[in-house]
């Protein structure tokens, strides 16, 4: 997961260096700045990203967040890129349920594949409206910062569940995010050990008792709330 914003493009270059010679083994996600998301601007931004990544296609191309450019114009550009094979799938990031409803009503909006949003044990607001909306419309949710940038904390409930499974609190937090169908998580990982630990979280099956303890420690939303961002 990268973007033209990260390191002013340098992050895409690093990803390109990392996947050189093994491009078919990875799924690359990148994002376009809102101010570049016009019909012409998004196509040009994608071309620059492709060059930095050293690839002929981006697997998933996202609007990084909503700006002043009409969503219809951005979707038109995404459709052109998809038709040309430069992006395999396209989607959005940081859009709430109301905005997703707007997108769905536009040309090309019904093929939006993903909404990438902030979601973790301490940021559960999307469970009220966005998550059900995406489930009903076959849109995958990509959860960024599932560990709240390392600030998740070790509550009694989280630690208790981790001890029961013999894993770390972070692995439980990741397994909790992944309990949903059509949910993708993109935790930050720096060391190979971190990557292996994150991958192992996919094998953790949380019980009803586990989920009840986590609901007690991190209560679910009781009303609609603004979409959180980092």
CA nearest to 128, candidates 170, 84, 158, 98:
98
Q: What is the DSSP letter of 224?
A: -
Rounded Cα distance between 150 and 222, Å, is 25
> With b meaning 16 or more CB within 10 Å and e meaning fewer, what string describes 179-201?
ebeebbbebeeeeeeeeebbeeb
| Two structure tokens written together for 177 | 């995010």
To the query of whether residue 144 is one of the catalytic residues in this protein, the response is no
- For 14, 140, 192, the CA distances from 229, given in Å and listed in that order, are 25, 18, 28
Active-site pick, 6, 33, 61, 144: 6
What number of CA atoms fall less than 13 Å from residue 99's CA on the CB side?
17
Catalytic residues: 6
């Amino acid at each position: 997961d990268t973007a033209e914003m990260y390191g002013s493009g340098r992050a895409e270059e690093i990803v390109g260096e990392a996947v050189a010679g093994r491009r078919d083994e990875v799924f690359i996600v990148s994002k376009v700045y809102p101010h570049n998301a016009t019909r012409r601007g998004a196509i040009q931004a994608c071309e620059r990203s492709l060059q930095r990544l050293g690839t002929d296609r981006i697997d998933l191309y996202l609007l990084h967040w909503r700006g002043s450019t009409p969503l219809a114009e951005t979707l038109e550009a995404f459709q052109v890129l998809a038709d040309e094979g430069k992006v395999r799938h396209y989607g959005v990031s940081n859009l709430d349920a109301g905005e997703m409803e707007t997108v769905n009503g536009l040309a090309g909006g019904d093929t939006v594949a993903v909404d990438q949003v902030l979601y973790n044990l301490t940021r559960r607001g999307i469970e009220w409206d966005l998550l059900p909306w995406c489930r009903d419309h076959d849109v995958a949710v990509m959860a960024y910062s599932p560990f709240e940038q390392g600030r998740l904390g070790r509550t009694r409930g989280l630690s208790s569940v981790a001890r029961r499974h013999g894993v770390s609190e972070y692995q439980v937090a990741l397994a909790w995010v992944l309990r949903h169908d059509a949910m993708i998580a993109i935790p930050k990982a720096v060391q190979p050990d971190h990557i292996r630990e994150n991958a192992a979280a996919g094998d953790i099956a949380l019980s009803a008792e586990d989920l009840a303890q986590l609901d007690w420690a991190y209560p679910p939303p009781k009303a609609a709330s603004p979409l959180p961002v980092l």
